[in-house]
Amino acid sequence: MAHCTNCGTQIEAGSRFCPSCGAAAPQSAPNPYQSSQSAYQSASSGYQGAPNTYQPPVMRDSSDSTDAQNNKVMGVLAYLGILVLVPIFAAKESRFARFHANQGLVLLIAELGFGIIYSIVTSILANLLFSTGSFGVWGVLSTLLSLLSLVFLVLAIIGIINALNGKKKELPITGKITILK
């Protein structure tokens, strides 16, 4: 068994890196098809090319996670109908709250638009179907349109779960639309 030249930990045969410190394992015979410089560079994003030195990958700024932790409630409020106005006006500086406020506002506008279209379509269909005596067709169409409105509830639940988990993840259908920046 080989030992790490950096920290001295035992390394299993065939391992390319030390399980303790991440340094490259000593090779018994050099590979003639690959230069040592390119092997270190392609091994991992944490390796910067110098043998036996490990530099961890650059981590994201912790201010994003702090912002998410501090504004989870605002993120949840964004998906509760008209309460989307609370994070819009109360958390203007929070990128996390702003993201979820945009997602919630787009969802609210889509839901209001669907409600208007639903009202118009159902009133026209009701007049047509009741005048012809097709009460059964009206029941089926009314049920289908009502089930379609559940899509908005599902999207709101997805948004709330994302906000509670501290994620800035777009909603499946309306997520690409941006109103607030």
pLDDT digits (tens, 9 = 90+) for 27-80: 755 545 544 444 444 444 444 555 556 555 544 445 678 888 888 999 999 999
From residue 17, give the alpha-carbon distance in Å to each of 42, 52, 59, 112: 13, 10, 21, 57
Closest CA to 11 of 40, 52, 50: 52
Query: Between 57 and 91, whose confidence is greater?
Result: 91
Phi, psi of 47 (to 5 degrees): -90, 130
Tokens of 43: 């091994």
Tally of CB atoms within 10 A around 62: 9
Closest CA to 99 of 125, 76, 117, 116: 76
pTM of the predicted protein model:
0.59
Cβ atoms of 83 and 90 closer than 8 Å: no
Query: Between 59 and 7, whose confidence is greater?
Result: 7
Domain parsing of the chain, residue ranges: 1-59, 62-164
pLDDT digits (tens, 9 = 90+) for 141-157: 778 888 888 999 999 99
